[in-house]
Amino acid sequence: MSRMNVDLSSARNMDTVQVEQEIRRHLEQSLGVEPDEATPGDYWEALSLLVREINLDRIRNTRRGEKNDGVRRVYYLSLEFLVGRLLGNNLHNLGIYHQVEKAMVGFGVNISDVLEYETDPALGNGGLGRLAACFLDSLTTLNVPAFGYGINYRFGLFKQGFVGGKQVEGPDAWREDGFPWGIERAKRKQVVRLYGRVREVDGNALWEDTQEVLGVPWDLPVTGYNTDRVNTLRLWEGRATEGFDLSSFDAGRYQDSRFREILAENISQVLYPNDSHPEGKELRLIQQYFFVACSLADLIVRYKREHEGWGQFTAKVVMQLNDTHPAIAVPELMRILMDEEDFVFTKALDICRSVFCYTNHTLLPEALETWPQGLIARVLPRHMQLIHKINDHFLSKEVEAQWPGDHQMKRRLSIIQEPGDPKEPQMVRMAYLSVIGSQKVNGVAALHSRLVKEQLFPEFDELWPGKLVNITNGVTPRRWLAICNPELAALINQTLKGDWQSDLALLNELKVWADDPEFQKKFARIKLDNKQALAKVIDELCGVKVNPDAIFDVQIKRLHEYKRQQLNLLHIMAVYRRLLDNPDLDVPLRVFIFGAKAAPGYVVAKNIIYAINRVADRVNNDRRIRDKLKVVFLPNYRVSLAEKIIPAADVSEQISTAGFEASGTGNMKLALNGALTIGTMDGANVEIAEEVGDDNIFIFGKTVEEVSDLRQRGYHPRDIYQHNEELKAVIDWLASGDLSPEEPDAFRPLVESLLDSDYFLTLADYQSYSDAHEQVIKAWKNPSHWWRMAIMNTASMGKFSSDRSIVDYCKTIWNIGV
């Protein structure tokens, strides 16, 4: 069929007939499928190709405009981009969702079936990756020129399943059936060098005898809301420079013939290779350097295409290091400037400190990356030399000037960490390298940023006042309300004037409706509809029927002891025992919902998952408690599952040990959708409490100061265990083997962790947590009060838009006008 005269760059003006014609064209010409034979998968692919076509038109216009204007660009370097399903988000941002929905009706197809066909891209794991995705959305929405840089993982982290209640990991083959969003740019490939040796010639360093791999980029267009701009997420894939060895193949050595290919492809196979063995550590370091080297080479080529000389580099380029994973970018840029562009060391360091900025995401010591000096020296010998040079300059010039003759201070601030045991290797502290090599360092919530200054980097804060700043995280209201909760979005549209999707602060005007009985009724009806939809998902995935009239109590986040899913578990077990003692107990129906992955080598975390699933089996099949309590653990938690859970949540569990959660963004998403937070004064919970008010949140547990004081006085979890009868009974039950008779010691790792160290103060906060749940029950029994609280939560989330976060980055860190 002939193509209609459609201006794809102005997609918002397309009507339903034009959309239908374009879908038909892609079905017939791109896929070779007749509409009456097409499956939802075919329609998904045809629609995706249409949207990609629109985006490619807009990308060309965007790049042309950027070049003409000589813009300053943000390059966001992150090992994770948890983008979620892309079709619905793109249709919404392009302003053609409703036209497509009507066109689908014309084809006799339900658009929800089409959208459900899409697989989540496995390009990230938790909050770090989802934050990066929200930031790309907001950068584009705010018309900030930006590139995201990461890795095009073939399998991502892993696909989670449960066998007998235990987590099992399998490959997440997310793009095996095709991925129309990714556009391979083979002509933009980069060569990455590894290993080899460094030779000095006439005062110049030559890195030679290296092994080479190729980085081939795949581009994902990033649309924004109500804008024609399209930014780019460029993801690198490992390939061999020479590839297939025909002589080995002809000699019958078939494995050898693909040896180089396999080594190169391993770099981009999985997110976070298991580094519990030397090979895994080496691959993980190579992975980090690979994506950094490709990205720097790529952005420098782009800069040189647009500008003469290096004079404008610091004015036109800013690079944000999302955590320490891209920290090796600092010595890599130093290498390029000194070895390839003839800059002297001090000038190269000045340039680095003008273009790099670093986001710290954690106070956890084990999450602050360190690498054995010998490993870096072997894999990246020139970079190890430059790290030493940066460190020597920093200590001898800057630290010495501030603290003359203070060798202890130099030892504390050195990038190279001296081991306590002489047999242990010296370690390279990537967080220190990031701070020393950057212009600005930011935390991600007010409390976290204060602790970064006071506990993590106090000397750096003293040395460089004003360098360490706060940018509180945020979430995009497009995906996390407009798209995932369309009924609530429609109610807000009917109630408010103005476009809250581009100015979330407008939600504040909902507060005048919080006491309105009719508005409360509509709000509650929407929540019930969402709970009914989630109940179907729970039945499909877990085979458990839950009552939508129950309280849906949700904890969805990475499985880690500091996030304290084990605290939630102990309380659930206590509630179950109370119901066994008195089945007539006057308590509301409750469904506790979990979603989380544990790192494959994290024994206690996997033990917690197993314990939750075994308790769930017992509780869900016990007729004595009359379905008053249900427990479900949804497998393979991911963005598309979060989009179903979050709108249905009544209670949001944000129960980390105070001082350990940098920010959290799940807390923001859940509150935005009208869930009430039960949480500690940790991370962004502190700011959420400030915004919603003490009457609209359930705060419990020790504060940061109280945690510190308890540790100094000496914490003995067995004392609490012995003096809290209910808690003791629950832990004894967990230890007894009753929940796993075929494996009586199954939960010993968890029990020993709680009783012998309890580093995350689970027992210390147990009673306060249990008391807070009693307040939840009390509030639930007063529906008008509950729905007032829920509406106030939604109305108070204006601060937590990722648009606000990006505006703060632009003003405070990047020096970009918005």
Whether the CB-CB separation of 562 and 608 falls below 8 Å is answered with no
669 given a catalytic annotation: yes
Q: What is the DSSP letter of 800?
A: G
- Decide if 645 contacts 653 (C-beta within 8 A): no
Alpha helices (H) in 673-703, listed in sequence order:
685-692
Based on the residue annotation, tell me whether 563 is a catalytic residue of this protein. yes
Q: What would the 3-class secondary structure string for 622-640 be?
A: CHHHCCCEEEEECCCCCHH
Quick one: 58 exposed, middle or buried, by C-beta within 10 A (0-12, 13-18, 19+)? Answer: buried
Check 324, 362, 476, 665 and give the catalytic one.
665
Catalytic annotation on 762?
no
Q: Which of 52, 527, 669, 788 is catalytic?
A: 669
> In three state form, how does the secondary structure of 498-531 look?
CCCCCCHHHHHHHHHHCCCHHHHHHHHHHHHHHH
Cα torsion 203, 208, 213, 216: sign: positive
Other CB atoms closer than 10 Å to residue 13's CB: what's the count? Answer: 12
How far apart, in whole angstroms, are the C-alpha atoms of residue 496 and residue 69?
Answer: 37
- For helices 381-393 and 345-355, give the axis angle rounded to 10 degrees: 90
Neighbours of 227 (CB within 10 A): 16
| Residue 558 appears among annotated catalytic residues | yes
Q: Which of 361, 382, 448, 478 is catalytic?
A: 361
Catalytic residue selected from 58, 558, 799, 804: 558
Q: Are 236 and 217 in contact (CB under 8 A)?
A: yes
Long-range contacts of 713-716 (CB under 8 A, 24+ apart): 715/758, 715/761, 715/764
Number of residues assigned to the chain: 818
3-state per-residue secondary structure call for 243-283 = CCCHHHHHCCCHHHHCHHHHHHHHCCCECCCCCCCHHHHHH
Integer CA distances (angstroms), 393 to 74, 414, 416, 617, 693, in order: 28, 11, 13, 60, 49
Distance CA 635, CA 44 (A): 25
Report yes or no: 803 and 504 within 8 Å, Cβ to Cβ: yes
Active site residues: 361, 557-558, 563, 665, 669
